[in-house]
Amino acid sequence: MTTAIAWSIDVLEGWEAREHGDVAVFVRPEGVGVLQVVSYEQDEDVTPEDLEDLAQEHVQNNHGSTHVEVGDFTGTLYTLREDGEYWQFWYLAADRLAVVLTYNCAEEDRNVEIDEVREMVASLMLEYFDEEE
């Protein structure tokens, strides 16, 4: 048996979770934005350099960033306002797992759901489970 690694998040009341391929999508049916989550597992621990590679577009464009700690995860948060859109990108790592969370909505709606989005992001947990080979 091997130990697999995964993530979980608490979906708040009024939000729906959907899967689109490898991407988990969270929306409020009558909401203004979308939270998307994708993860990448490696054979060895994810390093800050690995996260920087994932965030390469933001690094190259000198987007402002903030160091964040979310449960077992640490990483970087980027917040952007471009072309009437509001974006938040979390690049997080714990153990062998990198998780990228993206929230976007129209700029004028940025305060409508952001507290709930941040609450869901804050609930992110690392999980281990046994898997047969």
pLDDT of 133: 58
The tens digit of pLDDT for each residue in 23-78 reads 999 999 999 999 999 999 888 999 999 988 889 888 888 888 899 999 889 999 99
Number of domains in the chain: 1
Domain that holds residue 101: 2-131
C-alpha distances out from residue 11 to 27, 45, 69, 112, 117, Å:
10, 27, 19, 17, 9
pLDDT digits (tens, 9 = 90+) for 69-119: 998 899 999 999 889 999 999 999 999 999 999 999 999 999 999 999 999
Measured from the Cβ of residue 54, the count of other Cβ atoms closer than 10 Å reads: 21
Total-model pTM: 0.90
Per-residue buried b or exposed e for 76-115, using 16+ beta carbons within 10 Å of the residue's own CB: bbbeeeeeeebbbbbbbbbebbbbbbbbbbeeeebeebbe
The CATH number of whichever domain residue 22 belongs to comes to 3.40.1000.10
